[in-house]
């Protein structure tokens, strides 16, 4: 049985994380920034699963479950924030909220 080279899976996770990071740095649309955060969380989950597969215990999958729950809570709050943002600024450009008023 061919064993999967786990270092290559970790390289894939790093590549996906970097893609998400590039997305959040480059894009100014706030929906795309939230999507990029999802990509980064998913890459972190892949790294956890890889580590769990390396030592063949369930802890990696459990950490993935926690990442999943955190992503769900983050998405619900983030989408509500986007709705408020859109109603207030009538745009989805994140630079529209670049100036604080406090």
The yes or no reply on residue 14 touching another protein (CB under 8 A) is no
Residue (49 or 94) nearer to another protein, CB: 49
Could you tell me the smallest distance in angstroms from the CB atom of residue 76 to another protein?
A: 4
The yes or no reply on residue 97 touching another protein (CB under 8 A) is no
> How buried is 46 (Cβ within 10 angstroms: 0-12 exposed, 13-18 middle, 19+ buried)?
buried
Rule CB under 8 A: choose which of 10, 71, 94, 96 binds another protein. 71
User: Residue 89 is encoded by which pair of tokens?
Assistant: 């600024």
> In 3D, which of 72, 51, 73 has the Cα closest to residue 62?
51
Could you tell me the smallest distance in angstroms from the CB atom of residue 53 to another protein?
A: 4
First to last CA, the chain: 62
Residue with tokens 């745009």: 91
Residue (69 or 97) nearer to another protein, CB: 69
């Amino acid at each position: 049985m061919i064993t999967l080279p786990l270092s290559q899976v970790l390289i894939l996770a790093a590549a996906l994380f970097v893609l998400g990071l590039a997305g959040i740095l480059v894009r100014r649309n706030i929906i795309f920034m939230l999507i990029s955060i999802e990509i980064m969380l998913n890459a972190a989950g892949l790294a956890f699963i890889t580590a769990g597969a390396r030592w063949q215990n369930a802890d990696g999958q459990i950490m993935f479950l926690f990442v999943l729950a955190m992503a769900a809570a983050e998405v619900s709050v983030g989408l509500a924030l986007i709705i408020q943002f859109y109603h207030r600024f009538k745009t989805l450009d994140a630079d529209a909220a670049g100036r604080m008023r406090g």
